[in-house]
Structure formats: C-alpha cells, structure tokens
Amino acid sequence: MAVAVAPVHFPVFAPTLPDPAELHDVIVSVFASGRVTVGPQVAALEEEVGARLGVRHVIGVSCGTNALLLLLRALNLPAGGEVITPTFTFAATAQALLWHGLTPVFCDSDPDTFTMDAAAADALITEKTVAIYPVNIFGVAGDLDAYQALADRHGLPLLFDSAQGIGSTYKGRAVGTFGAGEAFSMSPTKVVTALEGGLITTNDDELAYQLRYMRDYGKAEDGEDMRWLGLSARMSEINAAVARWSFARLDTWIANRTAIMERYLARLGEMPGLSTQQIPADRTSSRNYIVILLDPDRAPITRDELYRKLKDEGVQTKRYFYPALHNQTLFRDVEPGCAARLPVAARIADTALALPMYSHMTLDTVDEICDIVESCCMAYA
C-alpha cells in the first residue's frame, strides 16, 4: 500500500547555484580543450582558495570523503592504531578511519560549541593512539590551540575534518591552515558547492606533493609507476568552475546566512528550553547549519515531535547529527560501553534539529517557517 508523504515546501538545504548561462563560456572552453579533469579550472580554484585562506597548498578532489581518505593515507598512520575523534559528527568522519583499518576512539563534546572536548580527548590518549582528528561542527572550529598542544605533548599528528568549515576562522586565522592538514567538502549541502567536490589544505610541501599524485591513483611523476596507494579522486573541470563561482561569493553567503540565523533566533530564541550552538568570540563560523536543541524537560515540544509535525506541514528539518556515531549500527561494536563517557554528545545528538537554511533563502521565508514552528509548539503546549 502506498504511504502518503507530505510534499516538501521548505527544504532543509538547497544549493545556491549560478544561472547556467553564466557558466556557458567556461563549459564551452572546457569541452573544446578536451582537458575535462584536473586542468586550468582546478588549478585556478586551488590558487584562489589558497590565497584567501593563507595556506600553501590546496588539492582539489572529487568529494570530502575522498579528501579525508587521502589525507589519512598520506599521513601513513599504522593500521590498528587508535584515532581520537568526536562521536557527534557526520558518519564520513569515522568511516574514513574504518576504510584504513584505524580504530575510532569516540570523544565527548563541548556543551556550548558542540565540538570535540579537548580535555576529554586528553584522557583518551594511550600508547595505541596514532592521531587526533577533530571536526569543524556546522562551521564552528573547536579549541584548536588545545588540540595542537595535546598533539605536541604526545608527538601525534593532528588533522581535521573541516568539511563544513570553509570561511570559518579561529583567532583571526582561516580554518584550513591548522594541523598537518584539513579536508573540506563542497557537496550540495555546503556553503561553497562544486555540485560535488572536496579540498585538502596543508602547509606541508611533502604531503601536498604526494596528495597531488594520490588523487590520481597514486601514479608517480612518469604517469606509469604506481608509487603511492591512491584513489580515483580527481576533480572535474566543470565542478571546479562551479566551485570558483561559489567560492568567489563566500562572504555574501556567510552574510546572508548570518542574517537568516539572527532572524530565526529573534523569532524563536525566547522559547523555553531552546538553545543553540555558541560561536565563541575568538571564532567566526561559515554558518553551514542552524541547529537548535530542545530540552525535553523545558521545551513545549520534544525534538522528535517537532521534527514529525514540521514534516507534516511541509517543512523539512534534519535531526543532525543523529544518532551520535557510537549509537549507529556501523560503529556500535567499535567500543561497547563507550557511551558512559559520552553524555554531552549524546544529549546534543538526541535533542538537535537543523532548521531549513541556504544562502539564497529570504527572511520572509524564515518568517513563514517560524510561524509554522510556533503553531506546532502551541499545539503541544
């Protein structure tokens, strides 16, 4: 029997794309040149991102997950080693570890920024630890100084899943310039989109050199000898052209999203039991998502009730990130019993709801959604 699904009037995200006519000339020139992958568009994107972020090397790849896989591989981490990473993140963070035979050691989160708790990470380091691997959460960087101090103290590499962090800063420095390397996504849900794509950033010349070949199977300079274990993870010229258009407007996207988030919070911020991610004064956010938490003891409606009710009203939201990774089938057996040390992350995951937001959303649309949220809450008050 067919199940009726409410139509989506308000999607939780929508990629902000150019009028196709704007890219007509570049598409014609790419096709005419015959160089459709890792050509001048990719090189220009890498240069533009490197110049803005202030990082020596940017390597364009086919998606964020491949950026993570390649970066982890290039760091040459020994299989079986433990890598400290948050449980409150997107699955791809820890899936990349499993692909390399590395063991995720799930860490709790800071209650305000939702990022990996550096003190909790410290307590998880053992002789088996081979890397520290924090995540930029919804555009907010964690305590990068504390992570680096930890890595230095224990002589461990520090790498970042910064998939959602393009345009974010920490103490005035761009995300993308920290640790041994960082990986970004440019999927359709990201502030800068390539349609699909990813970037690796690093200040390490050796690492960058290797990664440029590793994205193309790991072929050596002669194009024949397989020197490294790589992937087929090249970025296409058309994806790079879309990404250049999107990246050139990054400040506009962040400004629009900031206004959208402010409007949401002006409308909904007084709701009892509602809280949201904090952006510390020493950081700025790419504003990839607006995520509210609904305290089940104080809010007029639970997260799950609001999620379902909004769905019925055509407002798509996302329980995000949910479930926390240690509660997902794929990761449940990694370390049975680890839930006891992950109470903050579990509480965030169990109460978090991402509201619709995209760079070209109007404030009138935010108001319409807030009207619906308010009416859903009244129904339960």
Ligand X SMILES: Cc1ncc(COP(=O)(O)O)c(C=O)c1O
Min dist CB 47 to ligand X, Å, is: 21
Q: Which stretch binds ligand X (CB under 6 A): 58-66, 75-83, 243-251, 255-263?
A: 58-66
**Contact flag: residue 135 with ligand X (CB under 6 A):** yes
**Contact flag: residue 109 with ligand X (CB under 6 A):** no
**Contact flag: residue 168 with ligand X (CB under 6 A):** no
**Contact flag: residue 185 with ligand X (CB under 6 A):** yes
Q: How many CA atoms lie within 13 A of 357 on its CB side?
A: 27
Min dist CB 95 to ligand X, Å, is: 9
Q: Contacts with ligand X: how many residues (CB under 6 A)?
A: 15
Among residues 50, 64, 139, 142, the one that binds ligand X under rule CB under 6 A: 64
List the x/- string, 4-43, binding to ligand X by CB under 6 A.
----------------------------------------
Q: How far is CA 63 from the centre of its chain?
A: 12
Q: Which stretch binds ligand X (CB under 6 A): 86-94, 168-176, 258-266, 336-344?
A: 86-94
Among residues 12, 77, 92, 156, the one that binds ligand X under rule CB under 6 A: 92
Q: Which stretch binds ligand X (CB under 6 A): 61-69, 78-86, 200-208, 354-362?
A: 61-69
**Contact flag: residue 63 with ligand X (CB under 6 A):** yes
Min dist CB 185 to ligand X, Å, is: 3
Contact between 264 and 355 (Cβ < 8 Å) = yes
HEC per residue, the chain: CCCCCCCCCECCCCCCCCCHHHHHHHHHHHHHHCCCECCHHHHHHHHHHHHHHCCCEEEEECCHHHHHHHHHHHCCCCCCCEEEEECCCCHHHHHHHHHCCCEEEEECECCCCCCECHHHHHHCCCCCEEEECCECECCECCCHHHHHHHHHHHCCCEEEECCCCCCCEECCEECCCCCCEEEEECCCCCCCCCCCCEEEEECCHHHHHHHHHHCECCECCCCCCECCCCCECCCEHHHHHHHHHHHHCHHHHHHHHHHHHHHHHHHHCCCCCEEECCCCCCEECCCCCEEEEECCCCCCCCHHHHHHHHHHCCECCECCCCCCHHHCCCCCCCCCCHHHHCHHHHHHHHHEEEECCCCCCCHHHHHHHHHHHHHHHHHHC
Q: Among residues 254 and 354, whose Cβ is nearest to ligand X?
A: 354
**Contact flag: residue 163 with ligand X (CB under 6 A):** yes
Among residues 46, 82, 143, 161, the one that binds ligand X under rule CB under 6 A: 161
Contact between 19 and 25 (Cβ < 8 Å) = no
Among residues 16, 113, 164, 239, the one that binds ligand X under rule CB under 6 A: 164
Q: Among residues 192 and 274, whose Cβ is nearest to ligand X?
A: 192
Q: Which stretch binds ligand X (CB under 6 A): 8-16, 20-28, 158-166, 271-279?
A: 158-166
**Contact flag: residue 93 with ligand X (CB under 6 A):** yes
**Contact flag: residue 198 with ligand X (CB under 6 A):** yes
List the x/- string, 312-351, binding to ligand X by CB under 6 A.
----------------------------------------
Amino acid at 43: A
Q: Among residues 176 and 300, whose Cβ is nearest to ligand X?
A: 176
Q: Which residues bind ligand X (CB under 6 A)?
A: 63-65, 89-90, 92-93, 135, 161, 163-164, 185, 187, 189, 198
